[in-house]
Amino acid sequence: MQESLIVEEFANAGYQVSPDAVALIGSYSAPGTIVSKVLQSLDDSVLVVEREHINLDDARIPEKPADKLAEKLAEKLSKPADAPAVNILSDISNESTCVGEYSEFVRYFRDRYTRLSGIIRGRITARPIESLRVRHSGREYDSVSIIGMVSDVRTTSNGNKLLEIEDPTGSFPVLVRPSDRDIWATASGIVHDEVIGVTGSLTRDGHLMIVKSIVLPDLPNRYNQTLPDNGNRHKRFSSMPRSGGQGINGNGSEHGNGDGGAGCAVLISDVHIGSDTFLKDAFSDFIDWLGDGSLPVQYLIIAGDLVDGVGIYPGQESELEIPDVYDQYRSAAEYLGRVPKNIRIIIAPGNHDAVRLAEPQPALPEKIRSMFSGDVIFTGNPALVEIRGVRILIYHGRSMDDLIATIPKMSYQRPELVMIEMLKRRHLAPMYGGRVSIAPENSDHFVIDRVPHILHCGHVHTIGIDHYKGVTVVNSGTWQSQTDFQKRMNLDPVPAHATIVDLATLGTKMVKFA
């Protein structure tokens, strides 16, 4: 844990230092004295301090000195640091009012329709569905546009796709033919309860629309997000492709140049502390890495399932190393208590956490929050937060189970593609009545009104990074090896990875710890 102070001492003197040299200095009982003697021995030709520059054969190193470096480290870890600011823009916590009445569901879906149809209405000129029931003639049949929520999706005996579209004034059937390939590809991915716009021609009897185009609430084609002071910041590392196998390794031996003012955020999820498959050694290495100073980390964001929970699935009790859920959170608090105080921790819940299963989920209860340091930020699921001017939409990702099962070509091995489908629909959980239990709140907290810079999910225990129309999507994997349940489901997790995001550029790196 002293590595960051060693790096800082050399940086203050105008030198870079190699990881091998840092490790060697840290192995001495008095690293502060070693640093002082090495600095005195260097000449102007040295730019990077290497292991060979640490020649202490003739130096007398006291075994138990008053080590100022250790004192500085202790001060850094114990004092309430100037924690980086967090602005919570959207969160259900302390705002839930629903009791599950019929009128609440009506209000919930009308709110979804109003907000998403408003986005689409800026792209097509639509008419109310009830107006289609009036007899028309001539050219009025040729091009008609409506916006509605999809209430039914089915395939006809002729192989066509028949959608039932509903708005507050009525419902209407629309038909998509396989011969219209582009439209067919879009229609094949349409799911229940999403809001879409369709343009087409009416049949002569006026009872059916033949679709010519489908419009989703999608992000604008040239959506360009401005990061604050971006032009004055040094690029720490460039964006990386979706594969997690090419990152910097857990000891931080490869990192970017420059120390832009925005710093970095570390994204993880699905830690599952308490499970007998929790990778405690890898997670402990990760916590140590956060404090080694190899990157200017300012935030740690956890997208749900911090613990494994209790009673989540049949037979879980036989797979728990910590059978009490409160003891699981106490263990989690101990791990996170080792994170340097200058790193702000944000924790959102998931379906394994001790909150209601219905989404949106509120933040963890006070009894659990009190176990953690007072500067830890707890949010609901989903939550939109802003750090250093960067908006991050945190969602655990339970709806991905429904989307993967419904949309063609989606899979657990490519979670980033599923997340892009969420962005196209401007909705995190469009399907009602599937695996995700949704609480009918006053407003639909899953609608993506304000476009984030980053969408951060977890849940599926695989990793993926991609970019879509200015948004960086990150699924940050898990810290749990394969469980018996996953073996039965033929799911192969990708554990012990952390995603590092440069807040100045949104460049990403994946770090592996096992």
- Domain(s) labelled CATH 2.40.50.140 in the chain stretch across 123-215
Burial class of residue 210 (count of CB atoms within 10 Å of its CB; 0-12, 13-18, 19+): middle
Question: Which pair of structure tokens corresponds to residue 99?
Answer: 């009791």
Confidence at residue 8, expressed as pLDDT on a 0 to 100 scale: 67
Residue ranges of the chain assigned to CATH 3.60.21.50: 87-95+235-512
Residue 353 · residue 306 · CB < 8 Å: yes
CA dihedral 114, 120, 125, 127 (to 10 degrees): -40
Of the candidate ranges 10-24, 372-386, 431-445, the one whose mean pLDDT is the lowest: 10-24
pLDDT (tens digit per residue) in 132-141 = 877 655 555 6
The residues near 235 (Cβ < 8 Å, ≥ 6 apart) are 256, 258, 260, 502, 504, 505, 507
The percentage of the chain sitting over the pLDDT mark of 90, rounded to a whole number, equals 63
Q: Which residues contact 482 (CB under 8 A, 6 or more apart)?
A: 277, 491, 492, 493
CATH superfamily of this structure's domain 123-215? Nucleic acid-binding proteins (2.40.50.140)
CA 386 to chain centre: 13
Q: At what angle do helices 19-26 and 31-41 cross, to 10 degrees?
A: 130
Peptide bond preceding 452 in cis form (omega within 30 of 0)? no
Q: Which CATH class is domain 87-95+235-512?
A: alpha beta
Which SS3 state, helix, strand or coil, does residue 256 take?
Answer: coil
CA 343 to chain centroid, in Å, comes to: 18
d(CA 284, CA 118): 47
Which residues 6+ apart lie within 8 Å of 115 measured at CB? Answer: 444, 447, 449
pLDDT exceeds 50 at position 495: yes
SS3 372: coil
Q: What is the secondary structure of 204-234 as a DSSP string?
A: TTSS-EEEEEEE-----TT--PPPTTGGGS-
Instruction: Indicate if the alpha-carbon torsion angle 64, 69, 73, 74 is positive or negative.
Output: positive
Q: pTM score, two decimals?
A: 0.80
Of the pLDDT bands very low, low, confident and very high (cuts 50, 70, 90), residue 220 is confident
The pLDDT of residue 254 is above 50:
no
- Select the more confidently predicted residue: 244 or 284: 284
Q: What average pLDDT score do residues 159-186 get?
A: 94
Sign for the pseudo-dihedral over CA of 220, 221, 227, 229: negative
Q: What is the pLDDT of residues 35-86, one digit of tens each?
A: 888 887 877 666 677 887 887 655 444 443 445 555 555 544 444 446 788 9
